[in-house]
Amino acid sequence: MSSELNLDKAKVRRSFAAAADSYDGLADLQRRVGLELLRRFPLERRQGALVDLGCGTGFLTHQVASIIGGRQLIAVDIALPMLLASRRKYPDMPASYLCADAENLPFVKHGIAGIYSNLALQWARDLPAAFAGFKRVLQADSQLVFAIFGPETLRELKAAWAMVDDFVHVNTFHAADDLEHFLRAAGFSDIRLERRLYQPAYPSVRALMRELKGIGAHNVNRGRNPKLTTRAQLQKMVSQYQEQMTGRDIIASYEIIFVRARS
């Protein structure tokens, strides 16, 4: 896979901005993964600012704030409505908010003592460049900790759409080996990667599609079909998806890669 994904970053920003109000009611997987991320790679006790990168509506930020006490915490997201939703949800949370792109962080060199990110970095177009930027802003021997979708994510949906047409309908994600290579190239060391496959059940394919839309996880690849999907195409995809299932419920696979690296 190319190191640079063919993502439409403007659409990424718009999708998550539009999902700010519906996100919390649908983001059960994101909450489960965030808690698992903190369990696998606990916060370190050290001085300096900690960043929650791609904070969304603030669930992981709030968890981190409850652990680190008075240490400076900066919640960063590319979509301003997500930051505003977090402020409304946690009005007393001791965190600073910053609307910025993970691929262009506006921090001084070696000014950050740690970065956590939960299911956000898969939306970076150039992940190697983003990692190089993280290395620049992190203090020596600081942790970069993140959870990210792997290539097996939504494999059932990919297979169903592949029977309909040749367009890209599901976002593409980097494999664990790619992530380790990118991190080493950026200068990170002591890299740990752990994989887990989550397979939540849904009552229907349409329920899965509504959830993906409601959390902002639209198809943001530039190779997507420029025309609107027809009812016949959608029904064919749904039928193909259902044929893969052995039980009554619809299963969707999410490959999660948990990563810890040191600057």
Give the count of domains, the chain: 1
Whether residue 146 lies inside any domain: the answer is: yes
Whether residue 247 lies inside any domain: the answer is: no
Q: Is the dihedral of CA 123, 126, 132, 136 positive or negative?
A: negative
Nearest Cα to 7, choosing from 138, 159, 121, 162? 121
Residue 122 DSSP label = G
Whether residue 221 lies inside any domain: the answer is: no
Whether residue 235 lies inside any domain: the answer is: no
- What is the β-pairing status of strands 138-149 and 254-262? antiparallel
In this prediction the pTM is 0.89
SS3 26: coil
Q: What is the pLDDT along the chain (263 residues), one digit of tens a residue?
A: 455 556 666 676 777 777 777 767 767 889 999 999 999 999 988 889 999 999 999 999 999 999 998 889 999 999 999 999 999 999 999 999 999 999 999 999 999 999 999 999 998 989 999 999 999 999 999 999 999 999 999 999 989 988 887 777 677 899 999 999 999 999 999 999 999 999 999 999 988 888 888 776 655 555 555 667 788 888 998 988 998 888 788 899 999 999 999 99
Residues 139/168, Cβ–Cβ less than 8 Å: no
Name the residue range of residue 107's domain: 9-153+172-199+253-262
Whether residue 167 lies inside any domain: the answer is: no
Count of residues for the chain? 263
* Neighbour tally for 68: CB within 10 Å: 16
Whether residue 195 lies inside any domain: the answer is: yes
Contacts of 44 (CB under 8 A, 6+ apart): 114, 143
CATH number for 188: 3.40.50.150
